[in-house]
Structure 1
Amino acid sequence: MRPVPSVFAPLLFAMALPALATLSPGDPKPEIARDPAKPQPQNSVHTLRQIPEACARLEGMFTGQADDPYAFAVVRISETCQPRARFVDATKAQPSPSKGWKFNDLIRVPNANCPSQQVVVRVWRKPATTAPPKTDAQGKSRIYLEEQRRAAAANQLAAVPMYAATMAVEGEACR
Structure 2
Amino acid sequence: MPRKPWLYLLMIAPLAGPAHAADDTAPEIERPVAPPQAVGEVHALRTIPEACARIEGVFTGNATEPYRFAVLPTHSNCQPRARFVDATEVGPDTASGWIFNDLIRIPSEACPSQHALVRVWRKPGSAAPLELDAQGRVRIYLQESKQTAGGAASKLPLFTAAMAVEGEACEN
State the partner residue of 2:91: 94
Matches within 5 A, 1:1-175: 26-152=23-149, 155-157=150-152, 159-175=155-171
Gaps of 5+ in 2: 1-19
CA-based RMSD of the aligned residues comes to 1.6
Distance 1:110 1:157 in 2: 40
Distance 1:160 1:25 in 2: 23
Aligned residues: 151
**Rounded Cα–Cα distance in structure 1 between residues aligned with 2:151 and 2:89:** 22
Report how far residue 129 of structure 1 moved. Answer: 2.7
In structure 2, distance between residues paired with 1:77 and 1:43? 21
Higher relative contact order (CA 8 A, sep 6+): 2
TM-score by length of 1: 0.81
Q: CA deviation at 1:25?
A: 7.0
1:93-144 deviation per Cα after TM superposition (whole angstroms, max 9, x unaligned): 1111111111000000000000000000000000113221222121222222
TM-score, length-scaled by structure 2 = 0.82
In structure 2, the CA distance between the partners of 1:126 and 1:150, relative to structure 1 (3 Å rule), is same
Unmatched 5+ residue regions in structure 1? 1-22
- 4+ residue segments displaced more than 3 Å: 23-27
- How far apart in 2 are the matches of 1:131 and 1:64? 46
Instruction: State the 1:26 CA deviation.
Output: 5.0
Identical residues among aligned pairs (%): 56
Provide Cα deviations, 1:65-108, integer angstroms capped at 9, x if missing partner. 10111121111111111111100000101111111111000000
